[in-house]
Structure 1
Amino acid sequence: MAPSRSSRNSLQSVDLRALDYLASPSANLLCPICHSPLITPVQTRCLHTFCSACISLSLERSLTCPVDRKDLSHDDVTPAPIMIANLVNDLVVLCPNREKGCEASCARWLVESHVREDCGYAMVKCAKEGCDGMVARKDVDEDCVHEAVECEFCEFAVRKLDLESHLRECPKLSSECPHCAEPFLNPELSIHIADCPAEIIDCPASHFGCPYTCPRSEVDNHTGSCHFIALTPILQLHTERITTLELENKTIRQKLELLIPPRPLPTPSSSSSNPQDSSTNTGSSSTTRDMTSEMQDYTYHLYSEYEQLRSDVERLNAQIRELDVKQDMARINEGLRYNDEMTGMRAAINGLRMQLHWLVASRRDAPTPNSGGAGGAANRVGAGSSTNDGRRMSDSARQIVKL
């Protein structure tokens, strides 16, 4: 019983960003973020068009437009006009299985249905009942390639699908060396090829410019007379110096690009207005003059930027010194104010101490009344009452005086 059409539908997913287009798409249909043709295009409030997934990911990192850096939120993103979506969906793309042999091409909006239903190289479920393997759609009506078969040479059980690759590695089979044409068993062939004396190899100094090639067995004879081999230490030193200079040049170029964006220099074709009426020497000399003047203008502009930056740094240094002087004066004034306050507090404490000493001395020197009998008792009672009304020295010593 032949498998139904639904059972032949492929579950292969299509990555629209990885598709190859039959013709280069217009720059107006490319996303500014991923630089690929738009996928589910959306438009921002500032009238820029992006892929829906690209702008969503960008807004998660920064709430600004990636093009003009204006404030942007998810609410400011709306679907793009249907005309833009139709333009990108009608672009002709190649089948994603072209590396397997499919030569079909179709509009982008049809490529998923092509892979799912029509592509002969898309992987579908095997038609044999009980087999869960996948096979190309063009081979679905043939015998199941997932059945185990026995190798006729080593009697090893392999899948029919893997039989061809197994024969290239079967330990019981031998193959000829592509260099010396001698037969070797498959496990030993790769070891022999790595050291085959008949293999044609380049001179060890070929990366320095030596064009000589010879079999591996004769390379020792060549190295004895090769001038590049003799100059290898010097050439290696020069290569290292050139690599260092290239790295330094790259670093300097990056710093210059941070200071000033690069300006394109004129080409020879754009420098001469009428090449038919002028000779080659005149055109080349005018081109040289234009390039020289352009470089002088660029250097002068760079020097002006440098002078402006240096004046800004000097101005900032003057402001910092002025702020330091102001801060020092403020600290001095604050210290003087604290000293005045401390002097006033010391004077107040000394005044209180003198008043306390005077009170203690006046109480110590006060006279005590002396009388006898009842009168004396009455006087003692009166004195006792007067004494009780006043503060005693022992009481004043026990109480806490709050200033």
Structure 2
Amino acid sequence: MPPSRSSRNSLQSVDLRALDYLSSPSANLLCPICHSPLITPVQTRCLHTFCSACISLSLERSLTCPVDRKPLSHDDVTPAPIMIANLVNDLVVLCPNREKGCNTSCARWLVESHVREDCGYAMVKCAKEGCDGMVERRESEGECVHEEVECNFCQGVVRKLDFESHHNECPKLSSDCRHCSESFPNPELPAHQLNCPAEVIDCAASHFGCSYSSRRSELDEHLSHCHFVALTPILQLHTERIDTLELENKAIRQKLDLLVPPRPLPSQSSAATSSDPTDSSAARDMTSEMQDYTYHLYSEYEQLRSDVERLNAQIRELDVKQDMARINEGLRYNDEMTGVRAAINGLRMQLHWLVASRRDTVTGGGGAGAGGPRSVAGSSVSGDGRRMSDSARQVVKL
């Protein structure tokens, strides 16, 4: 029983972003984010059109419009008009299997059904019952290519699908080198061809202008006296510098395009009357106007730069004043702390004197009950608890 059409449908997926178009699409149909033709187009509140997946991913990172940077949320995104979707879906694309040999071209909305049902180079399930292998649709009606057969040369077992590639790797088969015509076993032939001495190759400095070419075995003699090879380091350095300058020029050109407003292109009527002598004066007027505009921008730039320098000087002056005020305040605090520390030390000394005086008074009071003043460690103590030697001390008042 032959397989049904549904069983021969391909499961190959089609990436719409990787498709090649028969002609270049209009810039109005390109997504500003991925720069590819719109896929499931949606429109924002600010009237910009994007792919649905592109704008969703962009809003996950920043809630602003990628074009004008205005605030934007998911609720502000709606499906684009059906006319835009029809325009992008009607674009003619090439079959994604064109590298295998399919030359079909169709509208983009038909390419998935073409690959799934009609493309002869799409992979489908093998028609043989019980075989789970995949084969191109154009070969699905023949014999099963997944059956194993024996090689007539090495007696190895390979699939019919891999039989041709096995011949290129079979150790029992030999092939001639296309450069020196010597015979080598198939597994060794690719390595030999990479270093075959009879292969004609270009000079190592051919991309710098040397047009010499010879066999690989004779090239060393040329390299020893080739001026381009000797200058290769310098030429390579200049090439890198040129690439760097081109990138800088490109960046400067983009900045200039942002600063200078675009000029309208001359119309056909103005081009037809270009022989009029007034055109030269108009061109001079435009040139002078451009120069005046450039000078104006330059003067504004210089003024902005002077303002920035003045602000920087004021900020540095304020920083110096702030540092000096901080230092002066710190010195005043240090002086106050020194005075407080001295007062605390004075209070500590008075407290120690009062404690000692109180102790002597208590001790003297205990001896007075026995009769009169007493001598303690060879010194007399009066009745009020003071030593005789303390009469000359200056009384410190709290």
Give, as a single letter, the amino acid of the residue that structure 1 aligns with 2:210.
Answer: C
Cα displacement string for residues 80-116 of structure 1 (whole angstroms, at most 9, x for unaligned residues):
2222222222222221112212222222222212211
Q: TM-score, normalized by length of structure 1?
A: 0.73
Report the counterpart of residue 196 of structure 2 in structure 1: 196
In structure 2, relative to structure 1, the CA distance for the partners of 1:182 and 1:287 (3 Å cut) is farther
What residue identity is the alignment partner of 1:321? E
* 1:196-255 Cα distance to aligned partner (Å, 9 max, x none): 34322223443332223333454456557x6xx14632x224314414533653575587
CA 1:60–1:91 in structure 2 vs 1: closer, same or farther (change >3 Å)? same
Cα deviations across residues 245-279 of structure 1 (Å, max 9, x unaligned)?
33653575587579765779999x97x96588669
Deviation at 1:33, TM superposition (A): 0.4
Cα separation, partners in 2 of 1:302 and 1:255, compared to 1, 3 Å: farther
Bigger Cα displacement from structure 2, 256-265 vs 187-196: 256-265
User: Which residue is 1:319 aligned to?
Assistant: 315
Matched, 1:309 2:305: yes
1:164 aligns with 2:157: no
Residue aligning to 1:209: 209
Shift of 1:16: 0.9
Shift of 1:297: 6.6
Offset of residue 20 of structure 1: 1.4
Residues paired across the two proteins, number: 366
Aligned to 2:16: 16
| SS of alignment partner, residue 169 of structure 1 | coil
More off after superposition, 149-158 vs 188-197: 188-197
Q: How does 1:4-403 map to 2 (within 5 A)?
A: 4-219=4-219, 229-230=226-227, 232-233=229-230, 235-246=231-242, 249=245, 252-253=248-249, 256=252, 274=271, 301=297, 305=301, 308-329=304-325, 331-333=327-329, 335-336=331-332, 339=335, 343=339
> Sequence identity, in percent?
53
Q: Which moved more, 1:350-359 or 1:96-105?
A: 350-359
Residues 153 and 262 (structure 1 numbering): CA distance in 2 closer, same or farther, change over 3 Å? farther
Decide whether the 8 Å contact of 2:44 with 2:77 is kept in 1. Answer: yes
Secondary structure of the structure 2 residue equivalent to 1:187: coil
CA 1:299 to 1:191, structure 2 compared with 1: closer, same or farther past 3 Å? farther
1:61 is aligned with what amino acid? R
* Distance in 1 between residues matched to 2:213 and 2:285, nearest whole Å: 46
Give 5+ residue unaligned stretches, structure 2. Answer: 371-397
The answer to whether the 8 A contact 1:266-1:290 is kept is: no
Residues 265, 294 of structure 1: 8 Å contact kept: no
Change (3 A) 1:90 1:244: closer
Indicate the larger mover: 174-183 or 299-308.
299-308
1:391 maps to: none
| Residue 252 to residue 103, structure 1, CA distance change in 2 (3 Å) | closer
User: 1:395 — aligned with what?
Assistant: none
Paired amino acid for 1:325: K
For normalisation by structure 2, the TM-score amounts to: 0.74
1:189 Cα deviation after fit: 2.6
Question: RMSD value over aligned CA atoms?
Answer: 4.4
Letter of the aligned partner of 2:213 in structure 1?
A: T
Q: Deviations over 1:94-152 (max 9, x none)?
A: 21112212222222222212211222211111111111100111211110000001112
Q: Which runs of 5+ in 1 are unaligned?
A: 373-402
Output one character per residue of 1:36-64: Cα deviation in whole Å (capped at 9) or x when no partner.
11111222222211111111111121121
